[in-house]
Homo-oligomer: A and B are copies of this chain.
Amino acid sequence: MTGQDPWIRAEMGGTKQASIISKPEVLSALMKKANHPIFLIGSESITDNKQSDLLITLIKNLKEKWNVPVISTAHITGTLISRGLVPNASMGSMEIIDRLCDNKWQGLDGKGQYDLVILAGFSYTLGSLLLSGLKQCSWNTKKISLDPKYHPHATWSYGNMKFENWQKEIERFFDIIKTDKKNMEESHV
């Protein structure tokens, strides 16, 4: 079960571990079920590695399709804007997790706490801690990790994958989004 080992091997999960996003339909179903989702994008999304472009495209797609608000952590807002992604807010990773842990927080839109938190673009270590913090304070919030490294503390996570395989998965997800009709039956997760 290599794909489902924590990417940093010493990062043990807990008694409840993330389910694997085995196919893009899972993601799509999760998005549809969400009432109030939010996307957190970390600083690694703008590093030079080959994942960046795809990740930014993915976020744009989510934003356009389901109107998912995006929060950029660290210092990357300007770069994102220059690459065509305008985040809804810029906030430190600790600051946003802290707010997501506060059941009185009304969200960026004043509509209350979020029920689905999607993360991508964080160093694995930091991502783990953010997910662990969220899991602890907000057990019932769904947490999705979209990076191609298995995150046991999430609710749903990709397994450890080579870039090429992950790319295929994400591109298939784009296809689903495009062909998706409003009246399409909801797939069950």
Contact = CB atoms under 8 A, between A and B. Distances in A.
Interface of A: 5, 9-10, 12-15
Contact of A5 (B5, B9, B10, B15): B15
**Most B Cβ at <10 Å: residue of A10, A12, A15:** A15
Contacts of A12: 12-14
The A interface is mostly helix, strand or loop, or mixed, namely loop
6 contacts: A5-B15, A9-B15, A10-B15, A12-B12, A12-B13, A12-B14
Contacts of A14: 12
A189 B5 CA distance: 22
A156 to B, nearest CB: 15
A15 B13 CA distance: 11
A61 B9 CA distance: 39
Contacts of A13: 12
Nearest to A17: B1
A30 B9 CA distance: 27
A149 to B, nearest CB: 15
A14 B6 CA distance: 11
